[in-house]
Amino acid sequence: MKKQLMNPYLPSWEYIPDGEPYVFDGRVYVYGSHDRFNGWVFCQNDYVCWSAPVDDLSDWRYEGVIYRKEQDPRNADGHQCLYAPDVTVGPDGRYYLYYVLDKECVVSVAVCDTPAGKYRFYGHVRDANGGILGERPGDEAQFDPGVLTEGDRTYLYTGFCWDWNAERHGPMATVLGPDMLTIVEEPVFVAPSAPYSQGSGYEGHEYFEAASIRKVNGKYYFIYSSIRMCELCYAVSDAPTHGFQYGGVIVANDDSNIATYKPAEKSMYFPNNNHGSIIEINGQWYIFYHRHTNGTPYSRQGCIEKIQILSDGSIPQVEMTSCIGTPLEGSGEYPAYIACSLFRKEDAYKSMPGAWMDGRFPKITQDGRDGDEFPGFVCNLGDGWAAGYKYFDCQNIKALKIRTRGYANGDVTLRLSWDGEVIARIPVRNTNIWTDSGIVSVAIPDGIHPLYFGYEGDGAVSLCSFTLYTD
């Protein structure tokens, strides 16, 4: 029986950001970088792959390690990290993995006969004279490759542009020949960086990083992370190397810009970098993106949301959810780590930039070490903070209970809107082991609702799970 779809879509102990999803032979494969739980920099682990059948996105299978960092000849000692990759199928039917190491500005390529087999190093992107892209005079730094193959040409999109750096002009498109390495058309800029955006239509959403490319209904969609970092934006063109016009924001990993359930400017989750892409699966379009956990930028987890591509080609921005578009059943036990909001009424993220990385603030985390298959939970939920879960199909809910631990003396509260009235209170007291509360009566109107669990009191509480009862 299919499980319900929940974010993050992979196990709570897995950290795969920068997701690039593809459908091959009836399965969805997701390629990304590989963060470490409690990591101290981005992308410390080797590339792994997960896949799921197209008709059940709850049934993800671990495909194992597909490429090790020391396989790159420039990284034989493994001292560099493997940054965000992308994959494309070459004219020979093989699978080509494009990536950049963290201290190199060149694009490396690995190859495999199957989508999730053992990739082997293939070469560096270069010109016909052997000059390596990124090292030649006048080249701009290569970063975050996104690739699309049509016939015997592969379009490679790269670039990293801080908003203050006028030496970086924007993301580049480079055309490669059938050997998947050799440049047949030199790089051209397809969107502006911030210093060059005046009058472009990209103002305020200029390119930062995370190049990705898809072709939809004959048009090319360039997906990227803007200078706001938390956003995944898109631009559209009729051609792969020119003419891209800014389209809008698809998702933001703090839910900024969304004004349907809170003020548009309010951040409802920790804002930081974002990377992902879109894919159609069984007639439904999705956006893959990532969220940040453990109170650092370096332990990121993949999430998915359903999106629409409208008849005019536009993509409306979607909310971050716990439920991937289909409301969760309003009964049974749910893990706290599926929270899509961690917030307080006053916007701590804007008033105290970077404060969310302070260990005193709430975060989604886990016990154990990297690789330990321990379930995640919300910790450090202090006075005035709340964890939000969207959405539930609430029918005849009569009661609830929670599982908590921590040195806390107060009440966990339940609201149906981020600033709404408290409809239930559950007392919590000091405990250093996971402890179930008593069952508390609650009156939730029938319908689709978010659930916001807050804390009022001394100390801070960790939330492991909550259970909804219908009888």
Which residues have a catalytic role annotated?
Answer: 18, 209
Of 296, 193, 186, the C-alpha closest to 241 is: 186
CB 409 within 8 A of CB 430: yes
Of 150, 213, 214, the C-alpha closest to 184 is: 150
Count the Cβ atoms, other than its own, within 10 Å of residue 24.
15
DSSP 204-232: TS-EEEEEEEEEETTEEEEEEEETTSSEE
Residue type, 129: N
Question: Using CA of residue 333, residue 336, residue 338, residue 341, what is the dihedral sign?
Answer: positive
Read off the DSSP letter of residue 30. E
CB 223 within 8 A of CB 244: no
DSSP 399-428: EEEEEEEESEEEEEEEESSTT----EEEEE
CB 107 within 8 A of CB 133: yes
DSSP 52-85: EETT-TT--EEEEEEE-GGGSGGGTT--S-B---
Strand, helix or coil for residue 195: helix
Question: What are residue 323's phi and psi, to 5 degrees?
Answer: -120, 0
Distance of CA 155 to the CA centre of its chain: 23
CA–CA distance, 219 with 213 (Å, rounded to integer): 11
Place of tokens 């990591």: 39
Read off the DSSP letter of residue 131. P
CA–CA distance, 37 with 392 (Å, rounded to integer): 29
CA–CA distance, 435 with 100 (Å, rounded to integer): 46
Strand order in the sheet with 172-176: 146-150, 153-158, 172-176, 183-189
Q: What's the farthest any 2 CA atoms get from each other in the chain?
A: 74
